[in-house]
Each structure stands twice: as C-alpha cells, then as structure tokens.
Amino acid sequence: MISSCMLFREIRSLAHRVSVYASAGGGIRQISSAAAEVPQELQYLKFDPPRLSSGKKSVAPMVVLHGLLGSKQNNRSVCKRFAKELETTIYALDLRNHGDSPHTRTHDYKSLALDVEHFIDTHIKRPSVVLGHSMGAKTAMAVSLRRPELVDTVISVDNAPIDARLSSEIPVYVQALRTVDRMGLKSTKDAFEVLGKYEKSADIRHFLLTNAITKQDGTVGFRVPLDIISRALDHLAEFPFNSDKVRFSGPTLFVRGTKSKYVPDEAIPTIGRFFPKFVLKDVDAGHWLISEKTNEFVEIVEDFLLAE
C-alpha cells in the first residue's frame, strides 16, 4: 500500500513535470513550468563570414543577445557586418520568452544565462565572445561569472553589474502592449496609434511592434508572454552576484551611452571588481546606442577585439 507521504511526493513530482499551454501566434505556445535548472533551446540566426583573408587576427565566434522586448532580428545588419569584417561566425539569439524561443515562467538572469551557456555548449563548443545590450548585457555578464570557461570576451552595451531600477519607460511599455493586446485591434497601424498615447517616438513604437502577431481571432497580439515579463521586471533590475565570490578575468568591454543612466560613474568601481580587465568606451547616444550610432559602435567593438 502506498503511504500518504509517498502519494504526496508522487503528486508533487507529477505537478513539477506538467506544462501548461497558452495561445500565441495564431497557434498554441507551450509554457514550461520546469524549474530554472532546465535550459531552454534557444532559436537563433547564424551569420557566417562571406570569405576569409589571410593575415587577419582570428576572432572567436560571437553570441549576440538582445534587450528586453527585443529579438534576434534587431541587430541583423550589425551581425552581418561583424561576420564580414571580423571574419568569424555570429549567432544572434532569441532569449527565453522572446522571439521564437520557448516561454517559461522563470525569467531572471541566472535562468537567462543558463540558456546561453547551454547554447554555447551544444552549438559552438568553444569559448565565445558574448555581446549583449541592456537585459542581454547583464545576461552576458552572468554567463561569464557562472561559466568563465565558455567566454573569450564580454561586451556589455549600456548596462552595468549593479542593482538598479529599470528606466521608468519600461513598465509603461509593457503595460501599453498589454492594453493593446486586450483591445481587439484589427491592424498594427491601429496599434501604432494607440501606442502613441504612451510613447511619442515612432522608432520605439515600431520597435515594440516587432513583437506583434495576429491572433486566431484576427486581432493584434504579441509573441512575448506579457504577464510573465511584467512579473519579471523586478528581477531584471537586479544583478544577483557578489564580486567577493565571482569575477571574470578575461577581456571585457563596456560601451555606454552618455545620454543614458544605465552605467553611472558610481558603477565603475563595481565594474572593476567583477571585471578587473575592463575597458570603458563612451558614445554620445542614449540607451539605444547601437541603432543611434551604429558605425561608431561597430568600430569600437572591432577595434577592441582585433587589438586583444
């Protein structure tokens, strides 16, 4: 006879393995209820160098990580340039709960890093340059601190290894998308107009609508699980590591926008404790510096990698 204690354990184990489903993209998207220790299989774009020339320094493969509400599509042109000019393979990933990658209820930097580590382990199988913007930057840093043997170089774009409140616009954007999702709009043009009540910049509204999909009823929805993202915002403001316990001693580049508040001067000593070989470069731009100053950004990154 099975004891009540054993029965409870069996039920709890079964519950742990159950997945629930949610509608997305006109179909059914599985949302994993697995623990954070289970990595997600990330979707990606791969950019191979068109040709190799002799004499140029060999650069490790590069993994590019987007920011919150972004996707692997955001930096296609930059990835193509890196592949051509650095003569190395570039992988642009969709992080969990973004783009075409799986949805899961856990969304913090340790789980985000776990997925990227699994990707490098299974697809690249050698130390890589890990470049990330914003949420992707903290994810890149987390990978280097958790699994330094997987990382050749860290490139952090407009974020720092500190606990800091997200820009006040971020919760507004998430709420705006949730509002649009509930309105039953028939076109992204209508969604663009509604978003204008929350954000004046047409470029940012277009960026937010890169997440738009058509739901089964023909109305505008979004491929990102907005409820999960909304609950995760506090975690994304954190940096859950201690510089007394972990650090990355490899080459590290921090690129910050001088019109952004994500990498304040007060954070520089903390950066040095986590990343003792860091270099800091300033760009006269805001948080979206990759799109604002693309050429300058690419030159900074390439000069750094080719000089190492």
Whether 291 is catalytic is: no
Question: Looking at this protein, which amino acid is placed at residue 68?
Answer: L
Rounded to whole angstroms, the Cα distance separating 92 from 90 reads 7
End-to-end CA, the chain: 66
Burial class (CB in 10 A: 0-12, 13-18, 19+), 32: middle
User: φ and ψ at 42, to 5 degrees?
Assistant: -80, 140
Active-site option among 66, 103, 107, 287: 287
3-state secondary structure of 145: helix
Whether 33 is catalytic is: no
Phi-psi domain of 97 (left: phi exceeds 0; alpha: psi -120 through 50; beta: other): left
Active-site option among 101, 128, 134, 260: 134
Which residue, among 190, 189, 195, 233, has the nearest Cα to 69 in the 3D structure?
A: 233
Which residues are designated catalytic?
134, 287
